[in-house]
Amino acid sequence: MDLADILGREQVVPDLQATNRWEAIDELIGNLVTTGKIQPKDREAVVAAVRKRETSMSTGIGYGIGLPHASTDLIFEVVGALGRSHQGVHFDALDNQPVKLVMLFLVPPGQFQRHLHTLANIAKLLHKADFREALEKAPDADAMMKAIQEYGKK
């Protein structure tokens, strides 16, 4: 499973308003509620699951990337949302640099291998400098989605 399998155009947020990781996570979970990927009644429980995971260790992996994720029984398939911040988000990243691309994803319980495989694929793709640059320079969500589809096939 790769990024293009998880994301639809409506789950790409080209202008995150967040200034820190908690706001970014909340904004992206809000997107998943708005797009029907998470039930509104489950929002706070999903936020709690992601916060619990994020509190154990920041998912700011360097290179301007944040990969907040969690397993929750409130979903039935892997879901995610991608946000881009032009100014950068304080994420407590490993390299202490602001995060410009935040990829939130959620995995149903009992799918540990899928969770690891998905995380590895997303991280591998986002570590490509030309892919990150394409996402950062894309004028809108449609162009970001096109880059995701193109680079996901390489």
Amino acid at 121: N
Structure tokens at 1: 């499973």
User: Is 69 labeled as catalytic in the residue annotation?
Assistant: yes
Output DSSP code: residue 98: P
Pick the catalytic residue from 69, 86, 115, 117.
69
Interatomic CA distance for residues 93 and 85, integer angstroms: 15
- Tokens 């988000």, located at residue: 89
d(CA 70, CA 105): 7
Just list the catalytic residues: 69
